[in-house]
Structure formats: C-alpha cells, structure tokens
Chains A and B, each alone.
Chain A
Amino acid sequence: MKATYREAVRMGLRNALLSDPRVFLMGEDVGRYGGSYAASRGLLEEFGPERIRDTPLSESAFVGAGIGAAMGGMRPIVEVMTVNFSLLALDQIVNNAATLRHMSGGQLAVPLTVRMATGAGRQLAAQHSHSLEGWYAHIPGITVVAPATHNDARDMLGLALKEPDPVFIFEHLMLYPQDGELDETGAPMPLRQACVRRTGTDVSVITYGGSLGKALAAAERLAAEGVSAEVLDLRCLRPLDTEAILGSVRRTHRAVIVDEGWRSGSLAAEITARIMEGAFYELDAPVERVCSAEVPIPYPKHLEDAALPQTATIVEAVRRVLPKGAG
C-alpha cells in the first residue's frame, strides 16, 4: 500500500496504542496540534487526552517523566519535537535513562521509547538542523535506531516498545512527506539488524536514515558506469550490526560511509574503526567518509546543500576508492 513516511509513523503509533493499554504518547504539541510533523494527527480524537498528552516546553521534565512512568509500569512514547531540543533533556537521557538498570544492579528497568526528528535539508539554519544521533549512539544503556524506509518507520516503534530498555528513534525530517510502499504482510525485520538495500560487488556504501535515499541514487548512477555498489542500511546505530558491516566489506573490499553527522568523532569514524579492527586485511582501498562539513548548518540553500552529503559527493567518494579504469 502507498503512504507517506509520516503516515507510516502514524500507523506505528496507532498500532502501538491499540495493542497495549500501557502505551501512551506525550510531547510538545502531539495532541491538539497533531504533532509538529503531523505524525500524531487524529490520535487525540481517537485515544483521548489521557493517552495523547500535550506537554509544556519542558524537555527535561517530560523526558524524565517518561523515564519515571516507564519505571512505574507504563510504556510511554515520548516525542521530543527534534533532536535539537533533546539537548535540553540530555541529563535525563544520559544520567538516568541509560544508567538506572545498571546502577541499580538490575532492579530497575526503563522501557521507554523516545522519538525525535533529526537532520537538515529544510533551510532551518544551524539550531534546527543537527544530526546528533551519533552522540546518542555513543551511550551504553540505550538502543538507537534510524528508520530509513516506510516499513521501518511503521514497524520500529512497535519493536521498540517490546524492548525492556530505552530505545531512541531518529526520524529524518526530509523523509516525512516522502511517498513510499508499505509491506502489509511480512513480519518486521529485527530492530538491531542492518539490511542490504542493494547488492553489489565493487564497494560497500554504508549509511542510515535520511542518507539512504542519496546512497541508493548514487549506486544507481554508478551502475550506469559499470560500478556495482552495495548499499547497507545500518538501521540500528547502537548497537551497530558489526557483522553485517564487516561481511559487506569482506565481499567488496572497499567501503564508503555516508553519515550526516559532522566528520570528527562521528558514527562514520566509529564504523571506519570497526572495519580497521575487523577487516583490515580485506581492504583494497582506504575507507572513505562522506559526512557533513564541519560548520553550523547554514541557512541559504546552496550552502546547506554544500554542507550535507549529496548523491554527487557519494559518487565521487566511490570513484576515489575504485581502481583506475575500473567499471
């Protein structure tokens, strides 16, 4: 069936609310407004104000309340409007959500799901264009996922709610209006598994979230030049599916990592390191990274485009790792 990404997210929310009375949604403007990205439109009318809760602009309080409610036996879904605002809740996320099970010697569980929009591309300027999922992926004690496809946008939420520990879902803001196809029969893919979205033999393009579409477009363009690029969608950023990454590199012997985060200390850096650790003697070329330029994301379209990974820059990076005259 055809749907937009935002509709897929909404289906996931609705399924979750229908299937478990412990589930409720809270966040800024998730109710009457229908969600900043309209992901929860209509849910207040269907499920009522007890389960669709508008919060004040108090990220720390409502993320912390999500932690407490999860500890108290509920299955809260907290929507933090965007990753940019989640910085106001970092204390709750890093110091509480991620630590409580361990710090309590296993007595406490925080089955909390937090959703937020991430990424740039809408000319929203520096404060509304962060891609900080890599920061979150640094933190043990939480799971971090990035649904890049419509199926994942719908299904990952339900899987996250079945987890005994906090799960953070990063939805790239450019995806919400995109049309796509939803599978209505198959079982959802496990949460922590990477997925080869396109098979290939010459190079592994490793990416996630909002960059998947660009990577697939790059692979298509490269195919016309006779270059066979494999595209791996990480899906889960913590824990990383290291075996899938290494398996792909072992097949192609070359890797290009596409990550909208800034290059220094990025997820791309982590993946590069894992390839060095696990597949050094399989490499036939240095690993390449396509990351955001190290600058606060600027407002003008041409500069924003230049700052972000693009299909063309992915193609160029792939060409750099290929033998000369190949293809």
Chain B
Amino acid sequence: MSEFRMPSLGADMAAGTLLEWLKQPGDRVARGDLIAEVDTDKGVIQVEAFTTGTLERILVEPGQKVPVGTVMALIRDDAVTAPAAAPPGAGPPAAGPLPQRVSPLARRRAQELGVDLASIQGTGAEGAVTVADVERLARGAIMPTATPAVDDSAARMRGAIGAAMARSKREIPHYYLSNTIDLGPAMAWLAEQNQSRPVADRLVAAALLLKSVALALRDFPELNAWWVNDRAVRQPSINLGVAVSLRQGGLIVPALEAADQASVDELMRRLTDLVARAKGGALRASELASGTLTVTSLGDRGVDIVLGVIYPPQVALVGFGRIAERPWVVQGAVLPRPVVSVSLSADHRVTDGHRGALFLDRIDQLLREPGAL
C-alpha cells in the first residue's frame, strides 16, 4: 500500500486545502496521473500521483486544510495483494468512500436541532461529524459542506449562512422592536475611565453594551433560550454570541461565555481576544457552539438601526447601530447627546412584544448607570 501525501508545492508551503479529488476510490491510478486539486496560498494546483495502482481509500475530504506530509489517500500498489495493516484504532480498509461517521453526541444534538446530518462534512476523528459541526451548521457559521462540489471557501460559507438564515426565516416568526438610548452617562463614564488607562487597557463602548445586554437577560431568561424539539429551553449560562465579519467575506459568531458574570474589563479583554482569534481562525469548537443570544453591531459601518435575523436555535438577537451625537430634549432644552439605537429581533413563539419592550427598557436603565455595570 502506498500513501498519497499532501505534497510540498513550494518551499514556503506549510499546508494546503484539498479542493477536489480527480480520482475516486476504485479508480486506476498511474504514476504521473493527476489525482487531486489543491488550493495553496499561490493558487490552485493539480497534483500528480507517483504510484501506479488502485485508489484504495480517501482520508481527506474536499474542503479540509491539512499540513504538508499528511496522508491524504491510500493507493494499493499493483504488486501487493494483501491489504496493509490498518492504523491503530481504525477499522478494516473500506473499498469505497467511507460511510458518514457521526459521534453519538452529535447524532443526539442533530436530532434536537432538526439538523440534516447528510449535509455535514465532519471535522472529528476519522472525519466523524462532531457536536460542534452540528451546532455550527445549526447557527449558520462557517461550515464546509459536502454538497455539491464547491470550489471556493467564500462560496461554501455563503452557502452555509444562507441555509441557516433561510431556515431561520422559514421557521421563526420574527418580530422587531427598536429604541433609541441616551448614552450620555455611559460615554462620560468611559471617557473618565480611559483617561487614567494606558492605551492597551482602554475600554470601548461595545463592552458596556454587551454587559448591559447580558445583565438584562438575567431578568428576561425566556430570551436566553434555545428552541429545541418544538419548545424553548432556557439556557443555564448567558453566552453572548458576537457576530464578527471576516475579511474574506462571511461572518462567524463565537460566544462570550457567562458574559453576565464577567466584569466590564474582563469582557473587554475577552472581546478583543475573541475578535482577534476569529479573524485569525483560531477559535475553539466550543466557542462556536455555545451562544445563547447573538449581539450584532454595525455601528462602525455607519448603520443607524440593525434588524437582524435570529440564529437558530437561539430565540432572539440584539442589534446596535452607530453611536452618534443627536439633538436630544433634556428637561425642555435641546442638547447634543450621544445616542444609539438598540433593536430586538425575537421569536414570537417564545415571547411577545410586551416582554421584548420591557427587555429593551431594562438595557436602557442599565446603561444609565454605567458604574454599576
């Protein structure tokens, strides 16, 4: 048995993404035949086999990025008839493509979330679908899919986001509410805090906004829930999903876990770290799967009001627009005040507009006393 490994296609190449297999298990492969298409930093390259034989087994699926040297397929040499010993822990070599493997936990979770397992390409041991894969698909974050052969990761992500959002709009009866909040006290408090801090430790308004949402959720636990098996299940921890746009397009929603229990400083640190790792692709699987309510802000892009689409299985989403100075009536006088619009997209199966309005009002109250956050 010969191993077909991710080849080094240049001195500086560390890893490559397999885009497509040009041969399938069972196909004859001759030395020099093109066998796979690999995406590298320098472009798409078709790579050749150096063994003559039969493609026995594929170990890396399209969409997977693997280091140079990784065994990607096994080729049964013509001379050899007996199958080679299986790697430890592996089953007998399969003749065709492996049947889809799903971890027990992932299977259970997929059932709860109504996720179609067939659409998932697993990232777990031996390509098994893990719980993180299921939850990622459920909330529409980055998710390479096996259907149909796609040739670029942005398109794959687009497809996954599309599927999750379509499902959300199809299944969730959304209602939307919006308030405008006077951020005067909050901005003054921030300015005062930051005056005495080194640049690296300065706080931004986002940390205050996130903390206010997290604390408000304590009083409105019905909004901190997942819709599972046709009912809302309140979640024990308040994990705020933070929508992060990626440079290459698409977005990803890692969570700040137990955000209500973190101080503003800690939230700030964790937010900075999370955004950096999201952009660098170094997120942990659990961070992508644990969000209980998503917060999205497009203020820095100049947007006034965000009316977002809920990420299943969550039941609500909070949007913040840009913080801007506006004329504001204070005790009969018109004054310039920093204000922000806060919106709530919520699942009508779980809450009504009345509760939603009270929730937004609670956020407003909390932001009036930033020192208490």
Q: Which residues of A contact B (CB under 8 A)?
A: 201-202, 226, 253, 280-286, 288, 320-327
Which among B64, B106, B126, B285 is the interface contact of A326 at CB below 8 angstroms? Answer: B285
Give chain B nearest CB distance to A104 CB in angstroms: 45
Which among A280, A281, A286, A323 is the interface contact of B123 at CB below 8 angstroms? Answer: A323
Report Cα–Cα, A280/B64, bound state, in Å. 27
We find that the number of chain B residues with CB closer than 8 angstroms to chain A is: 23
Stretch at the interface among B128-136, B151-159, B211-219: B128-136
Report Cα–Cα, A117/B128, bound state, in Å. 41
Give chain A nearest CB distance to B67 CB in angstroms: 11
Task: Tell me which residues from 92 to 137 in chain B have a Cβ below 8 Å from any Cβ of chain A.
Answer: 103-108, 123-126, 128, 130-133
Say whether A323 contacts B132, CB under 8 Å.
Answer: yes
Interface string of B45-76 (1 = CB under 8 A from A): 00000000000000000001110000000000
Chain A CB within 8 A of B199 CB: no
Chain A CB within 8 A of B333 CB: no
Give chain B nearest CB distance to A263 CB in angstroms: 10
Say whether A285 contacts B128, CB under 8 Å.
Answer: yes
Give chain A nearest CB distance to B120 CB in angstroms: 12
Give chain B nearest CB distance to A38 CB in angstroms: 39
Q: Which residues of B contact A (CB under 8 A)?
A: 64-66, 89, 103-108, 123-126, 128, 130-133, 282, 284-286
Say whether B106 contacts A284, CB under 8 Å.
Answer: yes
A and B contact pairs by CB, cutoff 8 A, 26 listed? A201-B286, A202-B284, A226-B284, A253-B103, A253-B105, A253-B131, A280-B104, A281-B105, A281-B107, A282-B105, A284-B104, A284-B105, A284-B124, A284-B130, A284-B131, A285-B103, A285-B130, A286-B89, A286-B128, A288-B89, A323-B130, A323-B132, A324-B64, A325-B65, A325-B123, A326-B284
Report Cα–Cα, A15/B286, bound state, in Å. 48
Say whether A285 contacts B284, CB under 8 Å.
Answer: no
Say whether A226 contacts B282, CB under 8 Å.
Answer: yes
Say whether B105 contacts A286, CB under 8 Å.
Answer: no
Report Cα–Cα, A188/B128, bound state, in Å. 43
Given known contacts A253-B131, A323-B130, A324-B123, A282 and B284 CB-to-CB distance under 8 angstroms:
no
Give chain A nearest CB distance to B70 CB in angstroms: 10
